[in-house]
Amino acid sequence: MASTPAYRARGIDPALGHLWRAAVAPPPHAILDAMADAVFVADGYRRLAYINRAARELSGWSGGEALGRPISQFVVGDHSPDRPGCRPCQIVTRSGEERPVEASIARLADGRGDGLIIVCRDIGPTVALSAQLTYRAEHDALTGLPNRNQLLTRLGAAVIDASGARHPVAVGFLDIDGMKRVNDTLGHAAGDELLVAVARRLASSVRAGDTVARLGGDEFVVVLGRIDGPARAEAVMRALMQTLSAPYQVASQPVTVGVSAGLAFCPDHGVTPAQLLACADRAMYDAKQTGAGVAVAAR
């Protein structure tokens, strides 16, 4: 005696029986296509046998053109199914872009050897947010220059490098004179515009391996690595001061500023970033009080 179909036992219209069966036991591909994670299935020859909707959207590949290609063309990284947990990989898009993902990989028997099922979670937004937060933590919000935290890191690296080199590291501390006048007469927005212009001139006037940082307010620091002695460092600082003293166009007005600078050297004036910055800062105040322009820290 034939059994009564389950949908009839539940009083479901026979015309809708196929919908009920699909809801209770949907085909595997329908389940995978409903997943938010990208799924790639490779056969025993490591060729792509299936790609779900999320994977197609993330990679830009359609199923028809992707199937049969090596799985390594789509997912770059460790494909070992014996490694537990998630691992970092990259999905290679149709245009060649590599997108970071977190992948879980399992063995899948397909009758021709062990295939693979690779489930990838897009971590691109997380990586981008992390990079953005790191950038903000290390750079001045107004000028985009390295801030104090990044300056200390770079100066520390320069000090370590100098310990094995014959050339010293020079630290220049610069103070922009006349910022209060600009803020009072043209407004703080104009003052910010001037600081950005100063930062651009400084950054474009040093070598690629040197560091220009803004400590805050109108104070900037230049780190000159492997400089050929104090005389060369002082010449570089005077050239920077001349560059910064040239007129600016701010709020449609010509503006000029003065610059006072102090210099300190590693190892003569200190062997830590804090010591070098303190000595250069004191030398800058000496230059400001005496009108010398550039002053070298006392030994």
Active site residues: 218
Q: Burial of 76 by CB count in 10 Å (0-12 exposed, 13-18 middle, 19+ buried)?
A: middle
Residue type at 267?
P
At residue 100, what are phi and psi to the nearest 5 degrees?
-70, 135
User: Quick count: other Cβ atoms within 10 Å of Cβ 135?
Assistant: 11
Q: Return the half-sphere exposure (C-beta side, CA atoms, 13 A cut-off) of residue 7.
A: 14
Distance CA 160, CA 155 (A): 9
Beta strands in 86-218 (DSSP E): 87-92, 98-109, 114-122, 169-177, 211-216
266's enclosing H/E stretch is strand 258-266
Rounded to whole angstroms, the Cα distance separating 271 from 283 reads: 17
DSSP 8-state secondary structure symbol assigned to residue 48: E
Q: Quote the CA–CA distance of 50 and 57 in Å, as a whole number.
A: 14
Element (H, E) at 51: strand 48-51
Cα gap 151→156, rounded to integer Å: 8
